[in-house]
Each structure stands twice: as structure tokens, then as C-alpha cells.
């Protein structure tokens, strides 16, 4: 099945089910468990939006909720054990709270072997299972589950859907995520995402701009644009538009202070995009540039379509064109066939690029992917030993990078009180690093200049400049 763009009429039908749910939901509570990436977090905000419009209110105590939603991720194996554990716990709870509605959605629901596992285990207690392509149908499925008392399972095998105007209840009132495209066409050999999220499809630029203008009007200051490979944005539109062009348009929206985006792919990071980052003040100069491996051999077998040298050349080019550019990354160790020499290539790139931060992962076999069928899988012991060395290196560089900020003045959006120390206000500098400082509540929501006074590994401290 190809990509289905949902009509206004189809979305109106769902609004109808939201209305119909009011008599069941008013006065009741919901809770959502969100696993995985920012894209899933953004989709949980949509689930929250729909639930709120039905009349549910949020509770942070899942045990007391009438509706519990598990929005799942399957990027690595540990998520599987976690969800089965949680389902077991809620199965027990449901024995005493029989009218509790349990729903499961997200990427795991698109994996046939996981759905099978749910059927065989605690999953029998799920009232509702739906996939990534039909999230917009949540109101209808919930209504059916509640009114018929019959389990609803609706999972679509297809290239994907594009739905606009789903209600949304955002977690923050200052920072917002905006998904600009769905799916992925890259098929990196280790990755499950293309199988569970379908093919690339871009939202119409006007819809994206409309959403961002609305956010600016509501007082939002920072926007994060989301997509599995934002560099591919717009290629599939009837009137193609590049990501760089979209960024330029978004910069024209008044009131937005900073625009972040993730993730771009090193294989197609255009000069046009580099120029927009360099010239547009609002666009972050902190680039998330997933490396995955520093070895050209491993990169080839990962199907990443760039070499170690090409990656380093891209970093160098950006350093020349974008003053004060910084980098963050994702790295996998223990990919099938990775030799000690390959691993040392990864360490070498980390040493040369000097990332501000790096998410490091041990390779996890995913059913259905090309790498899962490779014969030269690496032993767990070796993987563990390598990730230990990598983390040590990443952390030593992190402190050195932090040190560079001490004494400088940085623009910071004041996000609120620090959760760990309510005496302090908190925000993030350009690179995304947390900074804590003292000040009054009147500063919350404002963009201020801070002088960095100290680095404390995971965060910085500062004073009003």
C-alpha cells in the first residue's frame, strides 16, 4: 500500500469520536508511558491532546489512571524486557481496577513478532493495540473498545499516512517539537525504523509554518524540527522544497528565538544547508551529526553511504563556514564484523571532532534487518569492553569542551526552576548543555545573557551578565 494523505473529512470523523467519548471520559484520568525518541514524545503529546479533548485529565500516578497508554520503541532490545515487565505489573493492577483501559501503540506494535509475544503474555490484558500509521484513529478505536468491551487491534502494513490537525497537548510552554516528515528510506543495515515507520513523507511547508506561527503566537521560543533524516525533507512534495529552504522560511516567523533540528544525515548535508545555518541567527550552531562508526569498512556494511574521510571533511567544512559550530553525535559499537582496528577508527574520529556530547550504544540485533542476518556478530564481552573505553573518552572530552565555555557570555532561554535544585533557575546554552544560575521567577520565559562561571561535567553554572 502506498502513502495515504488523510482528508479533512477523515479527521472530522475522529473529532466526532472525541465528542462521543466525552460521556465516558469526563472526570477520568489518563497516563502515558513514552519510550524512544523525540518523535515518539511528540506523538505522545498528540495522544495527550486527543485524551484531553475527550475529557480525561492527566495524572502522574499511573496506578490511579483510568486510561494507560504505552507508546513503545523498538530501536534496541532492552525496551522489550521493559515493556513486558510493565504490562505484567498493570495486568495485576487491572484485577482490582477492572475498568482500567490499557492501550499500546508506537513502533513495537508494527513488529509482528512483538504483537505475537503480547498475545502470548500479559498482552491479553491490552484493550487496544494500534500502530504508527493510524495514531489519528485513536479516538475511534478507544470508543469501540469502551462501548463494545471488545479488544481492538488495528495495525496497518503500509508505506505510511500523513495526518494534519490532530489535537496536541504540549509538555512545555516554551519549547516545542514539530515533526516535519515521517518515515525513513535509508535502511541502515542495523536499524528497525524504516520497517516500523514506513517511507519518507514530508508535511506541506504551509502546514509546518502555520503550526510554528501558532506556537510563536502562544509564546513558544524554541522549536525543534524532527525527522529521521531532515536533509531529505521536501523531495517527495508535489512542489519539491529543500530542508534549507524550509529553514529559511521558518526563520522569518517572529518571536522564535532558537531553531534546532534532528537528525541530519552526513551523506547528504548540502552546502545550501550549511550556508543557512551560518547566516541565520536563529538556527542553532550545534549540529547533531550521527557518526555511527568511524571505520569506513563498518560504515559500508552499515549502509551509511559515507566514509570516515568524507565525514571528517564535512566537519572541517562546517568549521570553516560556521563560526563557533559545535557537534553532538550517535555512535554504535560492536556492529557485526567490527575489529579492534575499526573500533580505533571510531575513537580517532571522536578525538578529532571533539563532540560536545555523544549518545553511545551497544549494537542490538533487530529482527528483520540486514545486520541481524550477518554471521560475524560480536561477543557481548567485547562490546562491553569497547563501549567502556568509548564512554571514558567521550566524557574526558566533554569536560574539556565545557571548560571552553567558562568565562564566555551565552544567550539562554530561561526554562524554569531546576528540578534537582529549586533554588536555581535553569536553561540551555546553544549547544544544548544545561546551565543553572540564580535569579527571580520573572526571568522565566525570557532570553537572557549569562556569564559562565564553572563547569560541573553534566551542567554549567553562570551569573547574569
> Cell 495515504 belongs to which residue?
4
Total residues in contact with ligand SAH, by rule CB under 6 A: 17
Nearer CB in complex with ligand SF4: 228/401: 228
Residue 298 interacts with which of ligand SAH, ligand F3S, ligand SF4, none, CB < 5 to 8 Å by class: none
Nearer CB in complex with ligand F3S: 40/401: 40
Q: Please, which residues have CB within 8 angstroms of residue 109's CB and are 6 or more apart in sequence?
A: 72, 115, 129, 130, 131, 132, 155
Based on DSSP, count helices (H) and strands (E) in the chain, helices before strands. 13, 21
Q: What residues pair up with 434 in beta bridges, in sequence order?
A: 428, 459
Among the listed residues 36, 41, 83, 74, the one whose alpha carbon sits nearest the alpha carbon of residue 196: 74
Q: Which of 3, 37, 347, 367 binds ligand F3S (CB under 6 A)?
A: 37
Only segment of 17-25, 129-137, 189-197, 342-350 that touches ligand SAH (CB under 6 A): 189-197
Q: Which of 290, 294, 336, 462 binds ligand SAH (CB under 6 A)?
A: 290
Q: Are 286 and 242 in contact (CB under 8 A)?
A: no
Total residues in contact with ligand F3S, by rule CB under 6 A: 12
40 lines the binding site for ligand F3S (CB under 6 A)? yes
In whole angstroms, the minimum distance from the beta carbon of 267 to ligand F3S comes to 19
Q: In 283-379, which ranges are continuous DSSP H helix?
A: 296-301, 308-321, 340-353
Helix, strand or coil, per DSSP, at residue 71: strand
Only segment of 68-76, 160-168, 306-314, 385-393 that touches ligand F3S (CB under 6 A): 68-76
193 lines the binding site for ligand F3S (CB under 6 A)? yes
216 lines the binding site for ligand SAH (CB under 6 A)? no
In whole angstroms, the minimum distance from the beta carbon of 249 to ligand SAH comes to 23
Residue 39 interacts with which of ligand F3S, ligand SF4, ligand SAH, none, CB < 5 to 8 Å by class: ligand F3S
DSSP structure class, residue 234 = T
Q: What residues pair up with 283 in beta bridges, in sequence order?
A: 259
Q: What residues pair up with 31 in beta bridges, in sequence order?
A: 68
Q: Are 418 and 425 in contact (CB under 8 A)?
A: yes
Residue 187 interacts with which of ligand SF4, ligand F3S, ligand SAH, none, CB < 5 to 8 Å by class: ligand SF4
Distance separating alpha carbons of residues 465 and 449, to the nearest angstrom: 5
Please say whether the dihedral angle defined by the alpha carbons of residues 65, 66, 68 and 69, taken in this order, is positive or negative: negative
Nearer CB in complex with ligand SF4: 177/436: 177
Q: Are 460 and 434 in contact (CB under 8 A)?
A: yes
Give me the 37-76 binding string for ligand SAH, x by CB under 6 A, dash otherwise.
--------------------------------------xx
301 lines the binding site for ligand SAH (CB under 6 A)? no
How long a stretch of residues is the chain?
A: 465
Nearer CB in complex with ligand F3S: 191/247: 191
**Interacting residue ranges for ligand SAH, rule: CB under 6 A:** 75-76, 190-191, 193, 228-229, 263, 265, 290, 292, 330, 332, 361, 363-364, 366
Amino acid at each position: 500500500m502506498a502513502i495515504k494523505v488523510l482528508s479533512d473529512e477523515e479527521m472530522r470523523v475522529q473529532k466526532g469520536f472525541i465528542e462521543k467519548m466525552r460521556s465516558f471520559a469526563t472526570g477520568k484520568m489518563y497516563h502515558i508511558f513514552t519510550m524512544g525518541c523525540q518523535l515518539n514524545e511528540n506523538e505522545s503529546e498528540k495522544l495527550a491532546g486527543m485524551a484531553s479533548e475527550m475529557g480525561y485529565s492527566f495524572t502522574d500516578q499511573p496506578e490511579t489512571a483510568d486510561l494507560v497508554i504505552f507508546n513503545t520503541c523498538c530501536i534496541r532490545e532492552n525496551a522489550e524486557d521493559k515493556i513486558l515487565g510493565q504490562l505484567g505489573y498493570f495486568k495485576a493492577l487491572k484485577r482490582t481496577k477492572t475498568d482500567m483501559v490499557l492501550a499500546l501503540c508506537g513502533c513495537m506494535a508494527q513488529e509482528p513478532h512483538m504483537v505475537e509475544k503480547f498475545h502470548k503474555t500479559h498482552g491479553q490484558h491490552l484493550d487496544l493495540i494500534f500502530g504508527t500509521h493510524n495514531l489519528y484513529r485513536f479516538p475511534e478505536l478507544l470508543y469501540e473498545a469502551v462501548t463494545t468491551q471488545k479488544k481492538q487491534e488495528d495495525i496497518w502494513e503500509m508505506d505510511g499516512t500523513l495526518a494534519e490537525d490532530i489535537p496536541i497537548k504540549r509538555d512545555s510552554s516554551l519549547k516545542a517539537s514539530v515533526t516535519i516528515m515521517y518515515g525513513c528510506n535509508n535502511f541502515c543495515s542495523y536499524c528497525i525504523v524504516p520497517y516500523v515507520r514506513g517511507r519518507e513523507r514530508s508535511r506541506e511547508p504551509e502546514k509546518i509554518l502555520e503550526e510554528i506561527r501558532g506556537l510563536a503566537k502562544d509564546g513558544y521560543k524554541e522549536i525543534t524540527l524532527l525527522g529521521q533524516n531532515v536533509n531529505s525533507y521536501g523531495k517527495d512534495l508535489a512542489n519539491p522544497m529543500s530542508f534549507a529552504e524550509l529553514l529559511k522560511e521558518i526563520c522569518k516567523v517572529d518571536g522564535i528565538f532558537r531553531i534546532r533540528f534532528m537528525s541530519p544525515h552526513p551523506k547528504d548535508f548540502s552546502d545550501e544547508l550549511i550556508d543557512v545555518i551560518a547566516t541565520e541567527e536563529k538556527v542553532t550552531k550545534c549540529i547533531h551529526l550521527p557518526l555511527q562508526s568511524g571505520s569506513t569498512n563498518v560504515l559500508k556494511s552499515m549502509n551509511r553511504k559515507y566514509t570516515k574521510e568524507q565525514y571528517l571533511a564535512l566537519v572541517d567544512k562546517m568549521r570553516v563556514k560556521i563560526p563557533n559550530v559545535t557537534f553532538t553525535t550517535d555512535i554504535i559499537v560492536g556492529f557485526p564484523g567490527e575489529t579492534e582496528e575499526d573500533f580505533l577508527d571510531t575513537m580517532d574520529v571522536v578525538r578529532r571532532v571533539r563532540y560536545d556530547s555523544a549518545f553511545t550504544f551497544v549494537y542490538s540485533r533487530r529482527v528483520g534487518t540486514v545486520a541481524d542476518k550477518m554471521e560475524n556478530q560480536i561477543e557481548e564481552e567485547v562490546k562491553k569492553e569497547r563501549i567502556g573505553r568509548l564512554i571514558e573518552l567521550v566524557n574526558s572530552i566533554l569536560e574539556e569542551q565545557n571548560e571552553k565555555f567558562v568565562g564566555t557570555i551565552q544567550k539562554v532561554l530561561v526554562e524554569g526552576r531546576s528540578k534537582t535544585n529549586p533554588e536555581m533557575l535553569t536553561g540551555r546554552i546553544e549547544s544544548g548543555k544545561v546551565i543553572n544560575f540564580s535569579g527571580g521567577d520573572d526571568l522565566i520565559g525570557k532570553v537572557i545573557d549569562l556569564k559562565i562561571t564553572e563547569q560541573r561535567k553534566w551542567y554549567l553554572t553562570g551569573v547574569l551578565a
